[in-house]
């Protein structure tokens, strides 16, 4: 009886051992997922693969049972996902692996039909609409024209910049040619006195009060654009000087008849007609500084000599000569000149080396 029990125990032990051995062997025979990489980078504009073979090293038979899940949705109206971080899940009945996928935009915009040279009328500014660039993401085009003097004919260098939303940037240097100033041709009065038909009236029939109202409205509009609230007074004053210097041409005919016709001695001439004498520049500065909340003085007002402004910024009075593009000096360059000097040199508000005659 004892021998029979021992025999049964041995058989049971052998059976258990056999079963365990088979289980181990079967477990070892299961193939495991072999990732090619735990992370991938996909360039923006491409799709993220839904094929298991792009993520795993395993053989074709094994890959048939792999599901690729958690793929990101495409951007609206596009056939690829947006820039970002994603986790792609690979799974079968027994295993699961995660691959991290980064969609990145590393391609800079490309300029479209960019010219080597752009010709600009004297006193005008370059229209940024002339420049365009292509890119998959939103692109902003700016222009570094800090070396361009729009009120002096010549050829200057400027840099066009295209930058997309991922901060990829393309730059291109172009030539900016400022044309010669167009001089006004005064019609000679005929011998029969036909000019008397005008009775000395200005072509602009609106009264001075109406012109001042228009000038004030324009001053407010411009100041809101170039010198918003929160900007330091020094920067506001400099922006005012730079705007007038770059956008208003100089009226060389300063006779009373010319003033009656073109209002060059008024803020209206500078702000509305974009052409003025020094007195018109000064009156425009006064209106714009009032809008900006900056104290200002009109130097040599009502005198038949050059006029300019002073503004109080950072607790002190400095020069603001919008016609000449002078800003920030404690004294006007003309006040520093002596009788023997042919020209007085200075750096204008655009950062350009410039000069002025003592007879300015």
* Angle 195-197-199 from CA coordinates, rounded to 5°: 90
Q: What is the pLDDT of residue 204?
A: 42
Q: What is the pLDDT of residue 195?
A: 37
Q: Do the domain assignments include residue 9?
A: no
Does residue 4 have a pLDDT over 80? Answer: no
Q: Do the domain assignments include residue 257?
A: yes
Does residue 353 have a pLDDT over 80? Answer: no
Cβ-contact 266, 215 below 8 angstroms? yes
Same domain assignment for residues 242 and 352: yes
349: domain CATH number?
3.10.620.30
Does residue 338 have a pLDDT over 80? Answer: no
pLDDT band at 127 (very low <50, low <70, confident <90, very high): confident
Number of domain units in the chain: 3
Same domain assignment for residues 84 and 114: no
Same domain assignment for residues 230 and 331: yes
Among the candidates 104, 119, 152, a domain finishes at 104
What's the average model confidence in pLDDT over 125-133?
89
Same domain assignment for residues 97 and 128: no
Same domain assignment for residues 250 and 133: no
pLDDT band at 192 (very low <50, low <70, confident <90, very high): very low
What's the average model confidence in pLDDT over 308-328?
93
Tokens of 327: 């800003």
In angstroms, the Cα distances linking 206 to 198, 249, 261 are 15, 22, 12
Same domain assignment for residues 232 and 314: yes
pLDDT band at 336 (very low <50, low <70, confident <90, very high): low
Strand partners, 162: 141, 170
Q: What is the pLDDT of residue 18?
A: 63
In angstroms, the Cα distances linking 268 to 13, 213, 232, 264, 274 are 111, 9, 27, 8, 8
Give tens-digit pLDDT for 166-177: 999 999 999 999
Of 204, 219, 203, 307, which is closest to residue 271 (Cα–Cα)? 219
**Higher confidence at residue 26 or residue 230?**
230
Which range marks the domain in which residue 350 is found? 206-356
Q: Do the domain assignments include residue 196?
A: no
The mean of the pLDDT values for the chain is 84
Same domain assignment for residues 262 and 348: yes
Q: Do the domain assignments include residue 41?
A: yes
Q: What is the pLDDT of residue 20?
A: 58
Same domain assignment for residues 276 and 343: yes
Q: Do the domain assignments include residue 193?
A: no
- Least confident piece of the model among 9-18, 175-184, 208-217: 9-18
In angstroms, the Cα distances linking 248 to 91, 103, 161, 325 are 70, 49, 26, 11
Q: Do the domain assignments include residue 14?
A: no
Q: What is the pLDDT of residue 197?
A: 36
Does residue 114 have a pLDDT over 90? Answer: yes
What's the average model confidence in pLDDT over 214-220?
94
What's the average model confidence in pLDDT over 191-215?
55
Same domain assignment for residues 153 and 120: yes
49: domain CATH number?
2.60.40
Same domain assignment for residues 213 and 306: yes
167: domain CATH number?
2.60.40.10
Share of the chain above pLDDT 70, in %: 81
Q: What is the pLDDT of residue 229?
A: 87
Give tens-digit pLDDT for 254-275: 777 877 888 989 999 999 999 9
Of 56, 103, 97, 67, which is closest to residue 82 (Cα–Cα)? 103
What's the average model confidence in pLDDT over 309-333?
92
Q: Do the domain assignments include residue 16?
A: no
Q: What is the pLDDT of residue 181?
A: 84
pLDDT band at 292 (very low <50, low <70, confident <90, very high): very high
pLDDT band at 1 (very low <50, low <70, confident <90, very high): low
Give tens-digit pLDDT for 52-65: 999 999 999 999 99
Q: What is the pLDDT of residue 341?
A: 54
Cβ-Cβ contacts under 8 Å for 268 (sequence gap 6 or more): 211, 212, 214, 215, 280
Grouping H, G, I as helix, E, B as strand and the rest as coil, residue 208 is helix
In angstroms, the Cα distances linking 18 to 9, 12, 13, 23 are 14, 10, 9, 9
List the beta strands (DSSP E) in the chain. Answer: 39-43, 67-69, 84-91, 96-104, 110-111, 117-120, 133-134, 139-144, 154-164, 169-178, 249-250, 275-276, 296-299, 308-313, 316-321, 326-327, 344-347, 353-356
């Amino acid at each position: 009886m004892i021998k029979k029990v021992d025999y049964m125990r041995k058989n049971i032990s052998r059976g258990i051992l056999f079963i365990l051995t088979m289980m181990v062997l079967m477990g070892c025979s299961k193939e495991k997922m072999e990732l090619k990489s735990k992370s991938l980078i996909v360039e923006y504009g491409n799709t993220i693969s839904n094929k298991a073979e792009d993520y795993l090293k395993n053989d074709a038979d094994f890959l048939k049972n792999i599901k690729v899940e958690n793929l990101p949705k495409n951007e609206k109206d596009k056939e690829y996902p947006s820039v970002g971080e994603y986790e792609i899940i690979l799974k079968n009945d027994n295993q699961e692996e995660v691959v991290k996928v980064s969609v990145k935009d590393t391609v800079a915009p490309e300029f479209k039909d960019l010219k080597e040279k752009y010709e600009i009328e004297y006193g005008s500014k370059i229209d940024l609409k002339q420049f365009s660039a292509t890119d998959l993401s939103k692109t902003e085009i700016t222009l570094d024209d800090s070396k361009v003097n729009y009120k002096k004919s010549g050829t200057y260098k400027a840099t066009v910049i295209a930058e997309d939303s991922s901060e990829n940037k393309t730059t291109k240097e172009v030539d900016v040619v400022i044309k010669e100033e167009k001089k006004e041709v005064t019609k000679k009065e005929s011998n029969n006195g036909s000019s008397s038909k005008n009775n000395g009236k200005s072509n602009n029939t609106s009264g001075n009060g109406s012109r001042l109202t228009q000038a004030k409205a324009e001053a407010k509009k411009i100041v809101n654009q170039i010198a918003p609230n929160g900007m330091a007074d020094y920067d506001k004053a400099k922006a005012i000087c730079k705007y007038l210097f770059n956008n208003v041409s100089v009226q060389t005919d300063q006779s009373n008849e010319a003033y009656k016709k073109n209002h060059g001695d008024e803020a209206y001439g500078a702000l509305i007609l974009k052409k003025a004498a020094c007195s018109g520049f000064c009156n425009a500065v006064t209106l714009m500084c009032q809008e900006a909340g900056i104290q200002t003085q009109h130097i040599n007002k009502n005198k038949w000599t050059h006029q300019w402004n002073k503004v109080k910024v950072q607790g002190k009075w400095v020069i603001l000569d919008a016609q000449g593009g002078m800003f920030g000096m404690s004294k006007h360059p003309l006040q520093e000149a002596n009788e023997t000097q042919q020209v007085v040199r200075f750096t204008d508000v655009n950062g350009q080396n410039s000069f002025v005659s003592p007879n300015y």
